[in-house]
Amino acid sequence: MTTSWPELLLATATECTDVLARGADQDWSRDAGDLDWSCRTTLDHLALGIVGYAGLLVARPTDRYITLFASLDPQAPVPACLEGIRIAATLLASTVRETAPEVRAWHPWGHSDRAGFAAMGVTELVVHTHDITRTLGFDWTPPDELCAPAVARIFPDAPTGHGPAETLLWCTGRLALPGLERRQAWQWDGTVR
């Protein structure tokens, strides 16, 4: 990988928040894609998850999630929430940069290292931006260069022969691929290999 994980996280957060900002004036109370969460709730999920990944790398638990929960101000306008997503991604990128390669921390989908948690952050950003843009009516496909490292790191069972963005969206149950039905259940594997 020519781009470092911290750089990839920051580039992904910039891409995703810039795309979402185009729909800031729309109704964010609608469900995000096929999720049971509103677009606004999905942003809160992003903040919680991304800050949580940084917290896991800092606390390094072996058997549990951390007790720090981050959330966006429920009264804040969407542009301020998008700023919160960029802050969360910056916190994770800084933590990934400062964490030694041998550090491991618990995650329910595999004890992981800094690269694994960075890949989880990239995946969350890309997939949930895709969910929201579907509701906002944007025709957005995540850039392949953002998706390829995440697929390679946390989806060891990913099919080959498809573009990285489509593969990531298939791995996370967002779409079907030629010859492959849409997944109804899925999870990544953060285990260090």
pLDDT digits (tens, 9 = 90+) for 30-42: 999 999 999 999 9
Give the contacts of 20 (CB within 8 A, at least 6 positions apart). 78, 82, 129, 132, 133, 136
Q: What is the pLDDT of residues 108-154, one digit of tens each?
A: 999 999 999 999 999 999 999 999 999 999 999 999 999 999 999 99
Q: Domain of 69: which CATH number?
A: 1.20.120
Backbone angles phi, psi at 180, to 5 degrees: -130, 120
Phi and psi torsions of 132, nearest 5° = -70, -45
Question: Is 57 in contact with 103 (CB distance < 8 Å)?
Answer: yes
Domain count, the chain: 1
Residue 112 lies in a domain: yes
* pLDDT-based confidence at residue 68 (cuts at 50, 70, 90): confident
Domain for residue 184, yes or no? no
Query: Considering the entire predicted model, what is its pTM?
Result: 0.96
Examine residue 11 and state whether it is found in any structural domain, yes or no: yes
Domain that residue 127 falls in: 5-171
In a domain, 93, yes or no: yes
Tell me, yes or no, whether 183 lies in a domain. Answer: no
Residue 182 included in any domain = no
